[in-house]
Structure 1
Amino acid sequence: MPKISAPTVGEHRAAQRAAILKAAGEILVASGLEQVTPRAVAERAGLARSSFYEYFASRDDALAAVAVDAFGEWEAELSHALSKPTPTDRLRAVVETTLRLTADGKHDIAAILQRARLSPSREEDIMLLHDKLLAPLDSLLRDLDVPDPEIHRSLLRGLLNSGMELVNGGRSVSEVAARITALLERGLLPAMD
């Protein structure tokens, strides 16, 4: 019987699966999508290659699981930001949280996987995860009673994407968040009056 490295078999399996996902994410960010192979992932996780296949049928399945984890962390952070008392506070918190997560590198995995060429079903899974992250923005814009929420969501996403590029280029989160927030407060919020 193989040795387990946790108090129970279930905990052991969960730890091994987590090690595989962590290794896949690290390779993905450090070396790129092409370097994420079952052999490389298993080696980095300190497991036999066959262990990879005990948890995932294919590389695409493992990458989809990495995306689920990455988007799950992002969603949890945004949910916390959206717990602020007023819609305006929530809007500010979404901007700050998005830029902070970008600075922390948590967006890297999601961004790489969005551009990846995976099996069609896995690409669709990842796009659904991304779309799920946009749902709170729609709700927030409704709470702000913004006219034409679809247009404003696109514009807000554009501002956030530009802010993320600035943060990735070395600008401070606080500076970029303050500028985006100022634009929104002078532009978006007065448009609601």
Structure 2
Amino acid sequence: MPKISAPTVAEHRATQRAALISAGEAVLVESGLAGVTPRSVCERAGLGRSSFYAYFPTKDDLLVAIAIDAIERWDVDIERELADAEPGLDELRRFVDATMAMTAEGRHKIAGALREADLSPSSFDDLMVLHDALLRPVVRVLEHLGVSTAGSAVMLVQGVLGAGIQLVSHGRDHRVVADDVYRLLVDGIA
């Protein structure tokens, strides 16, 4: 029987699973989608290759777990940034700044790498539900600004944020991009 490295079997399994997700994320960011294999992930995690299949039946299952973990961390960090913001423009500013800063830290690279994955339709749908949950702060900010969220405003704001993310991902200074995105959202084009 294998030795467990935690007080309980459940804690041991949670630790092992977390180690595989963390290792998988590191391999994904460093080597891209093709580099994520059971062997590379287990080597990075310091676990035997059979451990992979005890937690993830397929590579897709690991990729979905990596995405869920990244989305949940992103959401927690955005909420932390907005926790004491004044509703309205201060909240919008902090949201834009945090989004661009987190992108500059490389936290959006996971999404880019996962776009290349040919995930099963159900896995992709699960990720889209989680990704859509990331729009909650946008909806809240717009509501605090008195903007109707029933129409296209949320998606238009998301589009501007997405363009900012692309600029930062391609090397533009995140502070300059955040200023431009904020100004565009507040003042519009003219």
Mapped to 2, the partners of 1:133 and 1:39 lie a distance apart of: 32
Q: 1:75 deviation in Å?
A: 0.7
Q: Secondary structure at the match of 1:106?
A: coil
- Give SS of 1:16's match: helix
C-alpha contact 1:114 1:123 (8 A) present in aligned 2: no
Matched, 1:43 2:43: yes
Partner of 2:159: 158
Q: How far apart, CA to CA, are the structure 2 residues paired with 1:135 and 1:76?
A: 12
Aligned length: 189
- Rounded to whole Å, the distance in 1 between the matches of 2:116 and 2:144 is 32
Structure 1 Cα separation of the partners of residues 167 and 40 of structure 2: 32
- The residue aligned with 2:101 is 100
CA apart distance, 1:23: 1.2
Residue 179 (structure 1) aligns with: 180
Task: Kindly provide the amino acid, as one letter, of the partner of residue 152 in structure 2.
Answer: I
1:82 shift after superposition: 3.1
Deviation at 1:115, TM superposition (A): 4.2
Q: Which structure shows the higher helix fraction? A: 1
3-state SS in 2 of match to 1:118: coil
Gaps of 5+ in 2: none
Residue 153 of structure 1 deviates from its aligned partner by 2.0
* Higher RCO (CA < 8 A, seq sep 6+): 2
Does the 8 Å contact 2:71/2:130 carry over to 1? yes
1:103 maps to a residue whose letter is A
Name whichever of 11-20 and 89-98 sits farther off: 11-20
Instruction: Tell me what 1:133 maps to.
Output: 134
Alignment of 1:3-152 (within 5 A): 3-83=3-83, 84-147=85-148, 150-152=151-153
Q: 1:133 to 1:148 in 2, by over 3 A?
A: closer
Using structure 1 for the length normalisation, give the TM-score: 0.88
Gaps of 5+ in 1: 189-193
**Does the C-alpha gap of structure 1 residues 89 and 115 become closer, same or farther in structure 2, counting only changes over 3 Å?**
farther
Q: Give the % identical residues.
A: 48
